[in-house]
Amino acid sequence: MKMACSSVPNATLAWASSAPLSQHYQRMQLIKCELLRTSKDPAIIDLYKTRESYNAKLTRTWKASKALTVVNAEVDLNLKFPSQENNQGLGFGKFNPNPTRSERRKLISAKTTSLFEESLIAHSTSLKQQSVWLQWKETAEPFDFSWHNIIWGGISEEVLKFVLNASVNWVRTPDLLNLWHYKKSCFCVLCGAEKCTLHHILSECPYSLKDKRFTWRHDSALSLIGQALCSHVEYMNSLQPKAVKSMSIAFVKAGTAPDKTHMSKKDGHEHLLSKANDWKLLVDLPGSNYVFPPEIYSTAERPDILIWSVQLHEVLLVELTCPAEEGIKAAQVRKEGRYLPLLDNITRNTSWKPKLLTVEVGVRGFVASNSRQAFLRLGLPRQKVSALCKKLASTAAKCSYTIYLAANSKVWDHDRPLLDQH
């Protein structure tokens, strides 16, 4: 059954398996009550009012007539004070202050779903272990659990179960086995840490870090990004560079659609690679051992991806991190702080203009929202960005699942090929 949830990642609500059924039942009951309340037959209306007054005295059981009073009040409030929930712009929303009975029932159904989602989130905040997903629900994109990705995405059932359980910290790790009294201790077999949690296994174990297990996951994701950017740079170099255009604001009259002929195209001045056709690219993958171009600046730093143009004297540094989803924002700040001195030295001592773009791919398979924005700034089409983010998510999940399975073994194949999906 499909979960109707817009604000909560679909993977994080898997623990509430009965939620969609109860939500559907409540929505249908509210619609039935609304049909009775707005009936054209006075006898039906009197019958509904009698039932409403009787149900108002009940306190322990859920009754649709009582809930309908709350939902109708919320709907009336939204009709009197409408708000814009999309990015179409002020005045473009279709606000109808006097909906028909059929339209009002749809509003009641949508409001019921919204209130149900709020109750699920409120319940999640009371769970110490399973509420971990709340720490990244605003900073990362949900994992793709669509039927198309499940059937044709090349993801095994074990990996899907791993992502679902990892989203709520419910993977069979030593700390949980100790909590369930299946083990007497919860130390890490690899490094000897006293408490071996999922966070420790996937992103914190010093033994796994030294053994290049985390590096293998990082390089697998970096290889995917490198392939996408290599093709994109070749394409951009085959085009004529575009002149810089001034930003213009096109005002749209309330209630009318914008005139697309006067709208500025994002494929023009906003892309970082659109002003030149001599871009060069370096990717720090195993075996490359590249050196930061000395014509730009002499340094031992090696960003994951380097893109530069001699014509523009611009250099773009792209840095990839695969942190735990709880630390996505901290990883971004950490990378910005690390490369801040290099950016400052290039700006002060040379004529080059540097820019830093950070990309974060969570260990559970949740890609940071700002990563999508970084790819769009480089000019990748939205369709390709979406496909790349899905590949990054599945690759990170597969790698993390492999690292999890090897958490009890010190044997690791250092010649393991990267999981770069061509």
Of 100, 126, 152, the residue at which a domain comes to its end is 126
- Cα-Cα-Cα-Cα torsion 164, 393, 186, 184, nearest 10 degrees, comes to 30
Q: Do 300 and 399 belong together in one domain? A: yes
Residue 248: what are its φ and ψ, rounded to 5°?
A: -130, 145
Q: Do 110 and 145 belong together in one domain? A: no
Answer yes or no: is 4 within a domain. no
Report the domain count for the chain.
Answer: 2
pTM for this one? 0.78
Tell me how far apart the alpha carbons of residues 417 and 133 are, in angstroms, rounded to a whole number: 31
Identity of the residue numbered 147 = W
Could you write out the DSSP letters of every residue in 177-239? HHHTTS-S----TTT--S---HHIIIII-HHHHHTTHHHHHHHHHHHHHHHHHHHHHHHHHTS
Beta strand 305-309 pairing with 353-360: unpaired
Q: What is the pLDDT of residue 160?
A: 94
Answer yes or no: is 251 within a domain. no
Q: Which of 135, 112, 134 is nearest to 123 (CA)?
A: 134
Q: Which domain holds residue 55?
A: 15-126
Q: Do 176 and 58 belong together in one domain? A: no
Tell me how far apart the alpha carbons of residues 110 and 132 are, in angstroms, rounded to a whole number: 27
Of 59, 94, 126, the residue at which a domain comes to its end is 126
Of 63, 97, 126, the residue at which a domain comes to its end is 126
Q: Do 319 and 171 belong together in one domain? A: yes
383-401 pLDDT, tens per residue?
999 999 999 999 999 999 9
Count how many Cα atoms sit within 13 Å of the Cα of residue 268 in the half-sphere of its side chain: 9
Q: Do 120 and 143 belong together in one domain? A: no
Say which residues have a Cβ less than 8 Å from residue 257's Cβ, sequence separation at least 6: 92
Q: What is the pLDDT of residue 256?
A: 59
Are the beta carbons of 108 and 148 closer than 8 angstroms?
A: no
Q: What is the pLDDT of residue 98?
A: 87
Tell me how far apart the alpha carbons of residues 148 and 151 are, in angstroms, rounded to a whole number: 5
| Residues of the chain scoring pLDDT < 70 | 1-20, 84-93, 242-270, 421-422
Q: Do 305 and 329 belong together in one domain? A: yes
Answer yes or no: is 254 within a domain. no
